[in-house]
Structure 1
Amino acid sequence: MIKSGKFLQTFFSRSIDRLADASISVSAAVRDHYFHPPEGLRSKPEVVHDLGNEELVRDQRDPTEPTPRPPSLPQGRRLVLMVGRIEPWKGQHVFVEAVRLLPAALRESASFAIVGGGVDGKEDYHLDIKRAASAAGILMLGTRDDVPALLRAADISVHCSVEPDPFPGVVIESLLAGAATVATSMGGVLEMITDPSIGTLVPPNDPKALADALSDLLSDVTPPRKKYGEIGRNRALSLVDPDVVDTKIAAIYRNLIERPAA
């Protein structure tokens, strides 16, 4: 998450400014948090987003069509995934409560699953999520090494962190995979989902708003991927395609080389 605190922000930005002629942040959200206001800085804070998952970037499949699901997952119903480490700030409790708030008919017409492993020191939270997920009919898939395949098979992917996420990889991967993406409206997410045609934004820590967004997607006769898959993937590629990232990095180095000596 993006760490808060005025002392940390000031110490970090001034230290970097003394040590470097330029700095690179993974998102504008991070840059603006740590290097604001920019006045008085010697170095120039830049933004270069992380590279996207290579497997998903290179994927030539039609993003509006889901791929076959692993045999261990329910077949036939729309699949809603939440991917992320199981710890409080990631918001699995928000997802579970949102599913619980859905009308019974929608819960029965779709499959819901949480992907991710626990975190040291957060075992009680992990156990609470397991219990609550079981009561709500949500599958717990644990740690997986096939997340790209799961996202390509999903109809909807949910991100519901309750603290600002610098540049959440799961949101970019969901967009690259073509899954209709619902995400918390803060942090780096706002640089990915800049228009309602790309994905759906919900307020942080708001199960009712998330339930309403899921209800709209699950009750629509148009499959979620048909509405969002192509536009979402194109938006993600415009940020994390290797050619885009390499061009930005090259420009930063070029400017440093051409800068007159002090």
Structure 2
Amino acid sequence: MTSAPDMTGRTLLQVIPKLKGGGAERTTLEVGAAFVRAGGTSLVVSSGGGMVEELEQGGSEHIAMPVESKNPLLLAQNARDLADLVKERGVNIIHARSRAPAWSAFFAARRTGTPFVTTYHGTYGAKTAIKRRYNSVMVRGDAVIANSAFTAQHVRKQYEGLPYFDGSRMVTIPRGADLERFDPASVGEERIRPFSLRFGEGFKVVMPGRFTGWKGQGVLIEAARLFREERPDVPLRVLMAGRMDEKPDYVDGLRRRIAEAGLQGVVELMPATDDVPALLAASDVVVSASTDPEAFGRVAIEASAMGKPVIATAHGGSLETVLDGETGYLVPPGDAEALAKALGKLHALGAEGRRAMGERGTQHAGQKFTIEAMTTSTLLVYERLLGQKG
């Protein structure tokens, strides 16, 4: 693998709305830490959150600013404050990871003549011309990073032919998984045991992810009902883990669906855990049932890294992260019957068959989706822009 370029004497400024968990936030921490290891100084501007301490442990400096606001007056003030920060700290690269802060960062970059990078961590809906214009800041970078081939294709479809879009500035850099954190050998039995006890005996299925409609928890509940109808002899246990405070009405609705389906004691909702590797290790199968396309979908790669077969929906980034029939199964989005059948196939494989599929997934993740590959590719983008400026 190509080594990371030397960033000695360089200063990177990443701008993101908040640091409260999520793929974009995790990537911010990882790129910041890699930039520091390469000899540079890493600054991150956000409104704060629970990941600030971890960010700082990786060597980055956090600067609090209300950059998650969409208020036009505050956007303008943030642009002035960011421009001042760029001058004061000698920032060489500005990297924006979300639309509202990207507008402030864009104007700060233009005022100071600083190379500007954006990353598409998701696909943004643009049903109106106004919304497309708002989203367009993400294609105005001197380099535009897409976190999957699916995302890159989506961006081109949205903006091809528009005067502010230059497709030659786009680069695809897949999201990476932390293969040291998601390594079965590093997860001891004492960490796995609490989740094993929560699962109990039987065929153990886990679905990590935010509790929100498009993540497909309702589809998995229906699939569990169908699976139980087909195989009443199989003790099925399903854990869905995620933050339960963001959409409490949705969570209550899921509990009602579980009760109506007669799945109490079969399907359980649980709060998000900091020890996702141990949760995955305790399972037999990991499910990602998103009904809207995942821009990347790191759950599939983290599960593969842990040696677990994955069932994912056949659209978006999952088409790149899951090899159908080899590392798991792909099913049509929203199709509970297909999901139930995939669960049946994985149960029929037995422990050894699932282990072999998981091992193929681990190999796939290690070849294509590592943090090192992602951060090195990102730093190479920075190096190219700094070279052009120089």
- Normalising by the residue count of structure 2, what TM-score does the alignment of the two structures yield? 0.58
Contact 2:178/2:370 (<8 A) preserved: no
When structure 1 is superposed on structure 2, of 96-105 and 52-61 the one drifting more is: 52-61
**Are 2:223 and 1:94 equivalent residues in the alignment?**
no
| Number of the residue aligned with 2:174 | 49
Alignment of 1:165-180 (within 5 A): 165-180=294-309
Q: Which amino acid aligns with 1:30?
A: T
**Are 2:252 and 1:127 equivalent residues in the alignment?**
yes
Q: How many residues align?
A: 255
- The separation in 1 between residues aligned to 2:208 and 2:350, in whole angstroms, is 25
How many angstroms does 1:227 deviate by? 2.9
| Number of the residue aligned with 2:332 | 203
Q: Bigger radius of gyration, 1 or 2? A: 2
Alignment of 1:1-262 (within 5 A): 2-5=123-126, 7=129, 10-11=132-133, 14-18=136-140, 20-36=141-157, 38=160, 41-42=165-166, 43-53=168-178, 55-60=180-185, 68-70=192-194, 72-104=197-229, 105=231, 108-120=234-246, 122-134=247-259, 135-136=262-263, 137-259=266-388
Contact 1:87/1:118 (<8 A) preserved: no
Q: Which amino acid aligns with 1:142?
A: P
* Residue segments in structure 1 that go unaligned for 5+ positions in a row: none
- The separation in 1 between residues aligned to 2:253 and 2:388, in whole angstroms, is 55
How many angstroms does 1:76 deviate by? 3.8
- The separation in 1 between residues aligned to 2:352 and 2:181, in whole angstroms, is 21
When structure 1 is superposed on structure 2, of 98-107 and 252-261 the one drifting more is: 252-261
Q: Which amino acid aligns with 1:115?
A: A
More RCO (CA 8 Å, sep 6+): 1
How large is the Cα RMSD of the aligned pairs? 2.8
How many angstroms does 1:239 deviate by? 3.1
Local SS of the residue matching 2:315 = coil
State the identity as a percent: 29
* Residue segments in structure 2 that go unaligned for 5+ positions in a row: 1-121
- The separation in 1 between residues aligned to 2:202 and 2:344, in whole angstroms, is 14
How many angstroms does 1:259 deviate by? 4.6
- Normalising by the residue count of structure 1, what TM-score does the alignment of the two structures yield? 0.83
Local SS of the residue matching 1:99 = helix
Distance 1:76 1:224, change over 3 A: farther
Instruction: Report Cα offsets for 1:128-152 as digits up to 9, x if no partner.
Output: 2113234312122222222210101
Contact 2:289/2:312 (<8 A) preserved: yes
